[in-house]
Structure 1
Amino acid sequence: MNTKYIDLISQTYDFPQEEFQLKEDQLTFHDINLMQLVEKYGAPLKFTYLPKISDNIQRAKKWFAEAIKKHDYNGKYHYCYCTKSSHFKHVLDEALQNDIHIETSSAFDIDIVRHLKKTGKLSNDNYVICNGFKRDQYVKNIAELINQGHQKCIPIIDNYEELNLLTNAVEKSFQIGIRIASEEEPKFEFYTSRLGIGYKNIVPFYEEQIKNNEQVELKMLHFFINTGIRDNAYYWNELQKCLRVYTRLKKICPSLDSLNIGGGFPIKNSLYFTYDYEYMIDEVVNQIKLTCEEEGVPVPHIFTEFGSFTVGESGGAIYEVLYQKQQNDREKWNMINSSFITTLPDSWAISKRFIMLAINKWSERYERVLLGGLTCDSDDYYNSEQHMNAIYLPKYEKEKPLYIGFFNTGAYQETIGGYGGLQHCLIPAPKHILIQKDKKGNITTELFKEQQTSEAFLKILGYHES
């Protein structure tokens, strides 16, 4: 009878997989011995495997290059990274090694841009696409960047007032983009995105405020779908509506030469995950070319803004199961030594699922459990893996610690969780480890941040005088 955890995983999924292997009863991730990581640094811990960032960027650039060549597409492709997915320096440093550009969302993002330029990571040759609703400080920072000579800083107009605010602050001529307010999926609580300008209003807006404005040149149309680039009727319909606006606008605006297809790729959230990235890119490029040919206009340069796709699959979290509580005849709770609400907030806020696997004890019997966090909040739990009704893990034994890992957690979790700040029930943020490969391909690790201390909490709360 197959009752071991390894039997369950092998029978349920196609396992092992490219990034997940089993060596001597223990899980490895991109050849990283996770138990050795635990033995060296302890648990709970978060880690970032930096090479995966460059790997995903290069994959996307390769797919676009192949599609452009296949379709004889007479335009360039520009890969942008959405800084809001993860603002950490080590993430930007790794990403910018790959000849990419960045997209910003707020005023403080521009301070990061300044730092990156000062340290030589970013230059005037890199596009800085400025999205988001722009308050006074954001406008001021964008204007300063352009005034200092960064001509490839492209503010994307989100509403009718932003253009006047920018022209008053910028001292020279500059380029802009316009964001389309796309229609949301039918299941959404609202019909049209709160961001951007409606499809029918973009051409009139151009003619009234941009066409005869000698200071401003319209370069880009920005198209963003909240659900990302997916092979369904909703996405293709919205893309076609966007392309009709682009071709109509191009006929009266010669400076328009770029289309930003915002909304990223999905990332692997289950061992069942399948997504044909190459097909989707090929078809997007094909659709853009066909529509432009039908309308008799040149094809645009293509910009993408990949955030989760860039950094998501680089991250992971490891916890120890501290204790098991048998609450009734059917429910066993494995209590982890951290909190899901604070360390994986998307699992609590939007019921997002990550890949979850045991780190050790793969040759032992498994049992059905629920996972609970340390806070006293009833919502601090993680109760189902993708496509499964419950979680199955190696049996808990007090004498043999069980460690579990959550993978592909690298996007948004730290910023949404308030990294370095107050945490629910004052549960400390775990250690954060950076993992890199040296020139010989050997794995190296570095402690980025220690686990949060009580002193840090007390200082934020005002109990320590500064």
Structure 2
Amino acid sequence: MNTKYIDLIDQTYEFPQEEFSLNNHQLQFHDIDLMKLVSNYGAPLKFTYLPKISENIQRAKGWFAEAINKHNYKGTYKYCYCTKSSHFKYVLQEALKNEIHIETSSAFDINIIENLKAEGKINNDTYVICNGFKREQYITNISRLINNGHKNCIPIIDNYEELGLLSQGIDKNFKVGIRIASEEEPKFEFYTSRLGIGYKNIVPFYEKQIKDNKQVALKMLHFFINTGIRDNAYYWNELLKCLKVYVQLKKVCPTLDSLNIGGGFPIKNSLAFEYDYQYMIDEIVNQINLTCAEANVDVPIIFTEFGSFTVGESGGAIYEILYQKQQNDREKWNMINSSFITTLPDTWAINKRFIMLAINRWSDEYERVLLGGLTCDSDDYYNSEQHVNAIYLPKYRKDKPLYIGFFNTGAYQETIGGFGGLQHCLIPSPKHILVDKDANGNITTKIFTQQQTSEQLLSILGYEN
């Protein structure tokens, strides 16, 4: 009988896959020896595989280059990274190796931009697309960046008052974009995004506030879909509505030359994941080309803002199964030595799915289990609702430690989980390891942060002496 864990994976999925393979019945991720990582650094731990960031950026650039060539598209393409997905310096440094641009969402992002400029990582030619609702500090920081010579900083106007506030703070000519308030998917509890300006109001807004303002040039129309770029009727319908606005605006605004199709690509959340990236990009470029040709206007520079796609697939988390609890005749709970609420908050908050696999013991028999975290909160678990289907792992044995990994967790989890701050039930943040390759292609590792200590948590809580 095929009762081993490796048999289950082989029967359910095509395995090995591009990033996953086995060596001596132990899982490898991008050729990283995960059990060696555990042996060297212990568990729980988080890790970031830096080369995957550059790999995904180059993949997207290649897909767009192919589509632009295929459709004889006369415009160019700009890749932006959304810093909100992960603000860490090691992420930005790796991403910026690939001649990309930056999208920001709040005031302190601008401080990061200034830090990177001081280090020579970006320059005044780097596009900085400033999204989000802009409070006073954000306006002040954007104004400072532009006043100091960053000519390609483009604030995206989110509401009717922002342009006036920016004009007060900026002492030279500057460029802006306008964000479209897209209609949300039918399943949403509201019809229109709270962000941006409605489709019907964009041309009147331009004519009233921008057209005769000699200080301001409208450069970009920004289109964002919350659910991301997906091959469904909702996405294509909203894209076509956006393109109609673009050509209407272009006819009265000669400075408009860029279309930002924000809303990112999905990332792999299962070994059965399928998504035709090249087809989607081909069709997007084709639709823009056809719409502009029909309206007899020049095609725009295409900007994308990829956050999760850039950094998500670089991250992973490894836990040890501490104990198994048989709570009734059907449910076995494998308790991990950390917490899902604190280390993978998206699994708890929005039932986010990640790839989960055993790290070792692939030749052992398997069983169906539920996974529980260490906190005293009943919501601290990971089950079939998050995992698409039932969870199977090698059978728990006290004498044979079992380690499990969650993969493609590199976007949002640290910031949502409150990296370096208080954790639910004071469960400490785990150690974080940076994994890279040297000039010879050999895997290298270094500690980014150690596991949180009681002294650090007590200091935050005000118990320091």
Check if 1:32 corresponds to 2:32.
Answer: yes
1:227 matched residue in structure 2: 227
Residue aligned with 1:142, SS: helix
CA contact (8 A) 1:199 1:245 kept: yes
> 2 CA distance for matches of 1:5 and 1:388?
18
CA contact (8 A) 2:182 2:223 kept: yes
Check if 1:112 corresponds to 2:112.
Answer: yes
Partner amino acid for 1:205?
F
CA contact (8 A) 2:351 2:386 kept: no
> 2 CA distance for matches of 1:37 and 1:179?
44
2:430 matched residue in structure 1: 430
1:51 matched residue in structure 2: 51
CA contact (8 A) 1:366 1:395 kept: yes
1:81 matched residue in structure 2: 81
Partner amino acid for 2:374?
L
CA contact (8 A) 2:347 2:386 kept: no
> 1 CA distance for matches of 2:270 and 2:120?
38
CA contact (8 A) 1:356 1:385 kept: no
CA contact (8 A) 2:351 2:385 kept: no
CA contact (8 A) 1:344 1:417 kept: yes
Give CA deviations for 1:292-349 in whole Å, capped at 9, x if unaligned.
0011100000000000000000000000000000000000000000000000000000
Partner amino acid for 1:370?
L
2:152 matched residue in structure 1: 152
Classify 1:87/1:178 alpha carbon distance in 2 versus 1 (closer, same or farther; 3 Å).
same
1:411 matched residue in structure 2: 411
Shift of 1:389: 3.5
Shift of 1:125: 1.1
After TM superposition, the structure 1 = structure 2 runs for residues 352-371 of structure 1, keeping only pairs within 5 Å, are 352-371=352-371
Shift of 1:388: 4.8
1:330 matched residue in structure 2: 330
> 2 CA distance for matches of 1:50 and 1:231?
29
Residue aligned with 1:251, SS: helix
Classify 1:102/1:388 alpha carbon distance in 2 versus 1 (closer, same or farther; 3 Å).
closer
> 2 CA distance for matches of 1:17 and 1:62?
21
Partner amino acid for 1:368?
R
After TM superposition, the structure 1 = structure 2 runs for residues 68-217 of structure 1, keeping only pairs within 5 Å, are 68-217=68-217
Give CA deviations for 1:395-443 in whole Å, capped at 9, x if unaligned.
0001110000000000000000000000000000000000000010000
Residue aligned with 2:384, SS: coil
> 2 CA distance for matches of 1:25 and 1:289?
50
Shift of 1:384: 1.8
> 1 CA distance for matches of 2:282 and 2:390?
38
Partner amino acid for 2:171?
E
> 2 CA distance for matches of 1:83 and 1:240?
28
Structure 2 unaligned residues grouped into runs of 5+: none
Partner amino acid for 1:314?
S
> 2 CA distance for matches of 1:153 and 1:463?
43
1:16 matched residue in structure 2: 16
1:443 matched residue in structure 2: 443
> What is the number of equivalent residue pairs in this alignment?
465
TM-score, length-normalised on structure 2? 0.99
Classify 1:274/1:237 alpha carbon distance in 2 versus 1 (closer, same or farther; 3 Å).
same
TM-score, length-normalised on structure 1? 0.99
Residue aligned with 2:223, SS: strand
Residue aligned with 2:67, SS: helix
1:270 matched residue in structure 2: 270
Give CA deviations for 1:198-246 in whole Å, capped at 9, x if unaligned.
0000000000000000000000000000000000000000000000000
Shift of 1:82: 0.1
Shift of 1:386: 6.5
> 2 CA distance for matches of 1:125 and 1:384?
47
Partner amino acid for 2:426?
L
Residue aligned with 1:434, SS: strand
Structure 1 unaligned residues grouped into runs of 5+: none
> 2 CA distance for matches of 1:388 and 1:16?
20
> 1 CA distance for matches of 2:367 and 2:385?
14
Partner amino acid for 2:317?
A
> 1 CA distance for matches of 2:19 and 2:221?
37
Partner amino acid for 1:184?
E
CA contact (8 A) 2:353 2:388 kept: no
2:384 matched residue in structure 1: 384
Structure 1 stretches of 4+ moved >4 Å: 385-388
Partner amino acid for 1:110?
I
